[in-house]
Structure 1
Amino acid sequence: MAPVVSTAWLAERLRSPDVRVVDGSWHMPAEARDGREEYLQAHIPGAVFFDIDIIADPDTDLPHMLPTPEAFAHAAGELGLSRDADIVVYDTHGVRSAARVWWTLRAMGYERAHVLDGGLRKWMAEGRPIEGGEVFPRRVEVRPAFAPELVRDAAEVREILQTGSARMVDARSAARFSGEAPEPRAGLRSGHMPGAANLPWEQVIAEDGTLRPAGDLREVFKAAGVDLRAPIVTTCGSGVTASVLALALARLGVTAAVYDGSWTEWGGLPDAPVVTGS
């Protein structure tokens, strides 16, 4: 099944016992928005809220890093997210943080995870039902699982840069990639990893907030100099929009790994190689 599903697909199955809906909305601090508060005001009926900053590794100062499989299994069980159900994740932007939740689910062994194409924005524009308030799901048992092929850490990225065993693809803006614009998080160096390709994540998203069609996506990756036949690892500022690129690649049948720490980790490592320019 495709990694993204349409609003029509979800509307037809909204009350199905085999479908779970997840609001994965998250906002950058500078946006001054509260994803959970907005969820309580309006969400797709039955949706539970997945907070990427809460369901995360508590033992690091890096933002929303993956928790242990055991911790994730407990949190997913509390949200009623069974691996036997089709899990549809959305966000308020269209496709952004929902992709991070989708990738997290995939990394934790969920093979039936999908993103709602166009998210809450498209759902509401079509006049589909919403509700407010808290949702109290029935708890389910979830066994810990992990798919290491979908995740990379700093040590593995160092090896990739030394051996050329994969292509790093950076989802940040061209100005941040080149080092012309400062990083929004204080204390980080500017620039990019040697040999990385730059594909700002907005380029894989259409004007209506949906993921661009497969044909368009192939052209976008080609224009960025990315060979879809080679191993790919996506990166960004903190692992959120890197997941958007991973989702776009999944639409093309390409499985990419995500560098979880991304530039928040890499740009803060004093000995990590960094270059500037385009």
Structure 2
Amino acid sequence: MDTLVSAEWLKQHINDQDLVLLDCTVVTMPNADDPRGLHNVSGRPDYELGHIPNAGFADLKNELCKANGPVEFDLLSPEQFCAAMGELGVGDDSRVVLYDANYTGWAARVWWMLRWVGFDNAAILDGGLAAWTSNGNELSLEPVLRAVNTLTPKPRPEVIADHDEVAASVNDDTVILIDTLPEEFYRGEMSIYPRAGHIMGAVNIDGLSLLDNKGHLLSQDELAAMHGFDHNARIITYCGGGIVASTDAFVLTRLGYNNVAVYMASLEEWTTDPSNPMEIG
């Protein structure tokens, strides 16, 4: 199984016994009481209104991340994450297909966490839920509960970057730091975090620019042209909370970059400390 599958492929394999299909949707809503002006909520209510048949629900907001961590979507331990995935039916011998209902970032975040715990037999549905419905495929209202399975953690700590590694990268020309937020955020013209701008030395590749107007990833040639880096370099992606950054990390991995990490805490952590260097423009 490729790491990116089409709706056509999924339709052919949706009843395979070893396939675990998971809806990973999180919904972002306006919220005047939040300093950012928005908040993220579980996509479970939308899942219950209609999802791809045989899809379970991977609750990134409430079950796959810490409920009260220092940043939103803070990582569980590898053991806790594997146990949570096991509750969804994911085991060592499973194949997993992930999708969401908006811009692939949520599915990519779960894909990257699976990579972090050493599980490689996972794919993202290209185009997400819209790709499924646009082909005339029906949705289901039936909840899907699978037997609990065992996913053995084999952690790869190197695919997650922490604050200290990012701080060290600021003065290290051998490390490529990629800001995946929109250009106006990168330049400091807009911000929903305590400080505007980008981490000093970072380049900008807007994560949403990786997708076409239907939400499908661009062709490999187009994506390669956007990522003209040394394939052996250490590359760290970040955004606001490690979501869109996971999409770019997924793309980089598919392009053959072999030393990629996501700064999961991203600007949500970085901007709270005035001593962390940032720049505007």
Amino acid aligned to 2:56: V
Q: Which moved more, 1:251-260 or 1:52-61?
A: 52-61
Distance 1:219 1:163 in 2: 24
- Output one character per residue of 1:147-203: Cα deviation in whole Å (capped at 9) or x when no partner: 1121101011111223233101011011111111122x4xx1111111100011111
Q: What's 1:176 paired with?
A: 185
Q: What's 2:53 paired with?
A: 45
CA contact (8 A) 1:57 1:68 kept: no
Distance 2:13 2:103 in 1: 20
User: Which runs of 5 or more residues in structure 2 are unaligned?
Assistant: 31-37
2:181 matches 1:161: no
Q: What's 2:243 paired with?
A: 240
2:225 matches 1:219: yes
- Output one character per residue of 1:8-53: Cα deviation in whole Å (capped at 9) or x when no partner: 1111110001211010111223378751111011111111111212
Q: Secondary structure at the match of 1:149?
A: helix
2:114 matches 1:136: no
Q: Which moved more, 1:51-60 or 1:98-107?
A: 51-60
Q: Which moved more, 1:1-10 or 1:240-249?
A: 1-10
Q: What's 2:34 paired with?
A: none
* Among 263, 271, 274, the residue aligned to 1:259: 263
Greater fraction of residues in strand: 2
CA contact (8 A) 1:94 1:208 kept: no
RMSD (Å), alpha carbons: 1.7
Q: What's 1:15 paired with?
A: 15
- Output one character per residue of 1:68-91: Cα deviation in whole Å (capped at 9) or x when no partner: 011112111111111211100001
Q: What's 1:25 paired with?
A: 25
Structure 1 position 227, deviation (Å): 4.4
CA contact (8 A) 2:109 2:246 kept: yes
Distance 2:103 2:132 in 1: 9
Percent identity at matched positions?
Answer: 32
User: Which runs of 5 or more residues in structure 1 are unaligned?
Assistant: none
2:94 matches 1:89: no
Structure 1 position 264, deviation (Å): 0.5
Pairs aligned (count): 271
2:132 matches 1:123: yes
Q: Aligned ranges for residues 177-196 of structure 1 at < 5 Å?
A: 177-183=186-192, 185=193, 188-196=194-202
Q: What's 1:205 paired with?
A: 211
